[in-house]
Structure 1
Amino acid sequence: MELYFLGTGAGMPSKQRNVTSIALNLLDERGTYWLFDCGEGTQQQIMNSPVKLGRTEMLFITHLHGDHLYGLPGLLTSRSYLGGDTPLTLFGPPGLKRFVDTALEVSGAHLTYALKIVEIVEEGLLFEDETFKVETARLEHRIESFGFRVIEKDQPGKLMLDKLTALGIPAGPIYGKLKQGQTVQLEDGSTLHGADFLGAPIPGRIVVILGDTRYCSGAQLLARDADVLVHEATFAMDKQELAYSFDHATSTDAARIAQEAGANALIMTHISSRYQGDAVLELLQEAQHHHSNSHIARDFWSFEVPRKG
């Protein structure tokens, strides 16, 4: 599981940062990518990255401001041109379906895959299958904005091969059944229970990606005990009043949320274009004063999500 930052700027693109988009690499876990936000130029950023658009499974839009949304029509049609034929699901606030349907209709676009659009009307569980679940909550911004909590479910522990070898159990289908926790009856009539041959479960990881927001309880709720929290940090602390007036966060706000929620790593993104070059270090230093494990994202930078322990 790896976060890959396609765009890390705020408001409008700059020479150093494109507008917001993040890929969550789940190739090892489910053979796909999930995308979060799709600012203008996202498909161009993808072309210069290892992300494979055709293997994108889900796309989460935090809110409907243009720097998080305007790249969507081009990305959807390009996915067809690149041979994408597997279903794609979009999640986002009310109005997302109207935006997408209008753009595709007016441009005469034809998609070669099934597109499902889910508009978020309630906080809580948004998606769940056997490997992951996604929870959402409202944040505080000028328009409705959501954050997403991606929870990897615990995995079965490692199979105790030495214990099976000691019993004279040969490698084969029996190992697979035990690994799945099943009960197996041997030819001699004895019974093996999968739970007796598995180590402790491997804890799943939690990745939290927030939309634009100022310091708020929704961010705290989603970020609790996260392995990684991705939080906007549009301004430094000396621009606190400006940040608040536009419903944005400072680097200190982001670090406070991470610290209070018990998040492990904080990654700050959505950086104002006023922080060019080494000026961005001001944001990092302010955050690290409150939360030592803080990072500033940059375009085409990746972060591997560690497992606990």
Structure 2
Amino acid sequence: MQITFLGTSSGVPTRARNVSSVALRLPQRAELWLFDCGEGTQHQILRSDLKSSQLSRIFVTHMHGDHIFGLMGLLASCGLAGNVERVDMYGPPGLNEYIQAALRYSHTHFSYPVKVHTVRPGVIFEDHEFTVSCGLLHHRIPAFGYRIAEKDRPGRFDVEKAKALQIPPGRIYGQLKRGETVTLADGRVINGKNLCGPTEIGRKIAYCTDTVYCEGAIELAQDADVLIHEATFAHQDADLAFQRLHSTTTMAAQTALVAKAKRLLMTHFSPRYAPGNTLDLKDLLLEARAIFPNTDMAYDFMTYEVPRRRQVELTDVRV
């Protein structure tokens, strides 16, 4: 599971940061999931190592332009390229009407199936590997955060130990790998769990933007390996944050702390904190780390591999 930030600015793009979009690459199934799709997202994908041909799911938090204006361009380009099989989109009420209106007035036709799912709090997608759920955040319009939970997997199967027990290879190995108990032809009963290493705990990612500090974000981020949370304002601008229902760096850090997340990656920064101003982004990072030390500040094209264990490594971190 690899996270790539395609846009980390709030409201409007800057020279260094595009508007909101985060990609989740799932190499084991050759899929790309997208969270929000601000204007210019397709250009950001072209500049990255991601493949638009692998796009399969798009999750939209809310209907503000800096989170959706890139949708039609990306979907239309994927259709013209002819390399996408199907896209499922998840988002708040109004998303389907927006897509249908854009199709109608632009005379666009998708050459592949696109299905829009209107979400409400709870599980919105599940298969044998992942469960995706959403919850309400607190913003000026209906906004949802998302939680991606990878399911636990049996530990590594010890083939040599199975051979030493003279267990014949074949279908039985598959059953034992899944931790099942099987009865061999000679009457022996073998518990597959005894031939597997420790269970691999599934990883958990939470994506929360746009929102002011709220219980919904804390619930989504509970015990997450990574919390991606907006940090539009510095702590000294908390009044603005409450007025506009966005988060400060300290709100994001407090959410991570209360939720017992392992790492916080902040995004969605106001352009007001540019170099040369009274406060810049390095100051915002220090504010958050004072509350939640395991915090980093995302930048466009930053990639982060979500680890399976507590040893977390983030390379080339910069502000």
Distance 1:31 1:180 in 2: 23
% of aligned pairs identical?
46
Distance 2:104 2:8 in 1: 30
Tell me if 1:35 matches 2:37.
no
Q: CA deviation at 1:84?
A: 2.6
Q: CA deviation at 1:200?
A: 2.3
Tell me if 1:252 matches 2:255.
no
Question: What's the TM-score once normalised by structure 2's chain length?
Answer: 0.92
Letter in 2 for 1:280: L
CA contact 2:54–2:84 (8 Å) conserved in 1: no
CA contact 1:84–1:112 (8 Å) conserved in 2: no
Q: CA deviation at 1:211?
A: 2.0
Q: Which position in structure 2 is the counterpart of 1:300?
A: 301
Q: Which position in structure 2 is the counterpart of 1:126?
A: 124
Which residues of 2 match residues 78-89 of structure 1 at below 5 A? 78-89=77-88
Q: Which position in structure 1 is the counterpart of 2:11?
A: 11
Distance 1:191 1:218 in 2: 47
Residue 201 of structure 1, aligned match among 199, 202, 206: 199
Residue 272 of structure 1, aligned match among 270, 273, 284: 270
Q: How many residues were matched structurally?
A: 307
Letter in 2 for 1:155: R
Distance 2:33 2:68 in 1: 15
Q: CA deviation at 1:158?
A: 1.1
Q: Over residues 116-171 of structure 1, what are the superposed CA-to-partner deviations in whole Å (9 max), with x where a residue is unaligned?
A: 10012x31111111110011111111111110010000011111234213213465
Distance 2:213 2:89 in 1: 26
Shifted more, 170-179 versus 57-66: the winner is: 170-179
Shifted more, 243-252 versus 268-277: the winner is: 268-277
Distance 1:167 1:138 in 2: 53
Q: CA deviation at 1:189?
A: 4.7
CA contact 1:84–1:113 (8 Å) conserved in 2: no
Q: Over residues 243-290 of structure 1, what are the superposed CA-to-partner deviations in whole Å (9 max), with x where a residue is unaligned?
A: 110101010110001011100100000011112248210110000000
Letter in 2 for 1:32: E
Q: Which position in structure 2 is the counterpart of 1:178?
A: 176
Instruction: Indicate the SS of the match to 1:214.
Output: coil
Q: CA deviation at 1:186?
A: 4.2
Q: CA deviation at 1:107?
A: 1.0
Distance 2:2 2:157 in 1: 26
CA contact 1:237–1:252 (8 Å) conserved in 2: yes
Letter in 2 for 1:53: S
Q: Which position in structure 2 is the counterpart of 1:54?
A: 53
Letter in 2 for 1:50: D
Shifted more, 156-165 versus 42-51: the winner is: 156-165
CA contact 1:16–1:276 (8 Å) conserved in 2: no
Q: CA deviation at 1:201?
A: 1.3
Shifted more, 92-101 versus 81-90: the winner is: 81-90
Q: CA deviation at 1:293?
A: 0.4
Gaps of 5+ in 1: none
Letter in 2 for 1:269: T
Q: Which position in structure 1 is the counterpart of 2:292?
A: 291
Shifted more, 101-110 versus 10-19: the winner is: 101-110
Instruction: Indicate the SS of the match to 1:249.
Output: coil
CA contact 1:58–1:88 (8 Å) conserved in 2: yes
CA contact 1:18–1:41 (8 Å) conserved in 2: yes
Q: CA RMSD in A?
A: 1.6
Question: What's the TM-score once normalised by structure 1's chain length?
Answer: 0.95
Which residues of 2 match residues 184-263 of structure 1 at below 5 A? 184-263=182-261
Q: Over residues 10-40 of structure 1, what are the superposed CA-to-partner deviations in whole Å (9 max), with x where a residue is unaligned?
A: 0011101000000011112x22011000000
CA contact 2:55–2:84 (8 Å) conserved in 1: no
Letter in 1 for 2:68: L
Distance 1:277 1:293 in 2: 24
Tell me if 1:142 matches 2:143.
no
